């Protein structure tokens, strides 16, 4: 304003009324000239009231219950001490903001698992395949190696069963000659994944079990992505499978294509079988030489480096938040 700007325009520029600036100039109320409230709210709880409320909600009768349960229970007895939001605030201020109910609190994200080579982390799940009878399905059990993306085992069965699951895992472990205590098997939270027979088989084979949170499909992204690829193939039947054998025959053809012909974008466009067996090293080196030779013959076509054909490294299942960031 000393430079000639009008008070009204200067105040409007910073979102204030001219009268506010006049009040600030008339009284010293701090560095930023905003006094704020000078008195406590009339309805503020006294120390005695706070102590009484905390005493009630931490009593033996209510200590395992959240405020949403305590308030109506007190009302049924003709008692009102505070609103739910006030009780939550008191709990937070007194360092008691943790889970109060006896029921299990929300589960945390599964532990991170990192694969630096084949047969270190497997992911598996079960998906439904339609039959002509409404509400009746056959079930596809599919196990994949997350590092190579190879489908290492599968079965089609007419029921979800932990016996089928455990037999499939034992079969894959034998075929892959896995090293004991060096592999993790991640699955959803379903019965076939967590049944006693399945867990006993994993323990016998030295396989560590890992599970998704209930109803959280994002915790098992590799299997979910694989099922999407399977069901969006152009040759996936538009009509239901007539028999379990028909479904198994279709899946067998899909698995052969996926493992040996499909060039997967996440593993530098080699096939899962090539990466699983280590043959991708030679394939990628050959591609690199081809591109280097092409640039040598016609350098004007490249303004920078040639396409990256380096071999992808470690693959992480459910990365920790700080790593993902």
Which bin fits 122, alpha (ψ -120 to 50), beta or left (φ > 0)? beta
CB 94 within 8 A of CB 54: yes
Alpha helices in 136-220 (DSSP H): 162-176, 191-194, 196-205
Q: Where are the domains of the chain?
A: 47-93, 113-267
Round to whole Å and give the CA distance between 254 and 262.
10
pTM over 0.75: no
CB 150 within 8 A of CB 273: yes
pLDDT of residue 325: 43
pLDDT of residue 105: 56
pLDDT of residue 181: 67
pLDDT of residue 121: 94
CATH entry, 113-267, from 3.20.20.140, 3.30.420.10, 3.30.1490.20, 3.40.30.10: 3.30.420.10
Of all residues in the chain, the percent with pLDDT exceeding 70 is 89
Check residue 264 and report its DSSP letter: B
The pLDDT tens digits for 240-257 are 999 999 999 999 999 999
Give the chain's residues under pLDDT 50: 1, 323-325
Q: 63-94 as b/e, with b when 16 or more CB fall inside 10 Å?
A: eeebbeebbeebeeeeeebbeeebbbebbeee
The pLDDT tens digits for 48-105 are 988 999 899 888 888 888 888 888 888 898 889 888 889 888 888 888 877 676 665 5
């Amino acid at each position: 304003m000393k430079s000639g700007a009008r008070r009204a325009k200067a105040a409007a520029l910073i979102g204030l009324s001219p009268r506010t600036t006049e009040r600030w100039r008339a009284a010293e109320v701090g560095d930023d000239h905003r006094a704020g409230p000078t008195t406590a709210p009339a309805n503020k709880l006294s120390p005695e009231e706070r102590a009484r409320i905390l005493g009630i909600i931490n009593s033996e009768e209510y200590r395992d219950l959240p405020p949403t349960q305590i308030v109506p229970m007190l009302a049924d007895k003709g008692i009102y001490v505070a609103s739910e939001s006030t009780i939550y605030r008191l709990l937070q201020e007194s360092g008691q903001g943790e889970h109060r109910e006896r029921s299990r609190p929300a589960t945390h994200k599964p532990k991170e698992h990192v694969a630096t080579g084949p047969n270190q982390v497997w992911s598996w799940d079960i998906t439904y395949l339609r039959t002509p009878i409404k509400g009746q399905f056959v079930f596809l059990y599919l196990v994949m190696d997350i590092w190579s993306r190879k489908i290492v085992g599968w079965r089609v069965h007419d029921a979800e069963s932990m016996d089928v699951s455990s037999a499939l895992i034992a079969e894959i472990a034998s075929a892959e000659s896995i090293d004991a205590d060096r592999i993790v098997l991640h699955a959803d939270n379903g019965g076939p994944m967590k049944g006693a027979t399945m867990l006993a088989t994993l323990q016998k084979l030295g396989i560590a079990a890992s599970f998704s949170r209930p109803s959280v499909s994002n915790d098992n992204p590799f299997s979910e992505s694989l099922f999407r690829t399977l069901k969006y193939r152009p040759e996936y039947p538009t009509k239901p499978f007539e028999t379990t054998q028909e479904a198994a025959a279709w899946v067998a053809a899909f698995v052969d294509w996926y493992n040996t012909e499909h060039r997967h974008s996440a593993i530098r466009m080699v096939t899962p079988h090539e990466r699983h067996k280590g043959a991708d090293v030679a394939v990628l080196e050959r591609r690199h030489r081809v591109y280097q030779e092409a640039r040598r013959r016609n350098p004007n076509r490249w303004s920078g480096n040639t396409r990256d054909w380096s071999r992808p490294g470690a693959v992480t299942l459910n990365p920790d938040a700080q790593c993902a960031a």
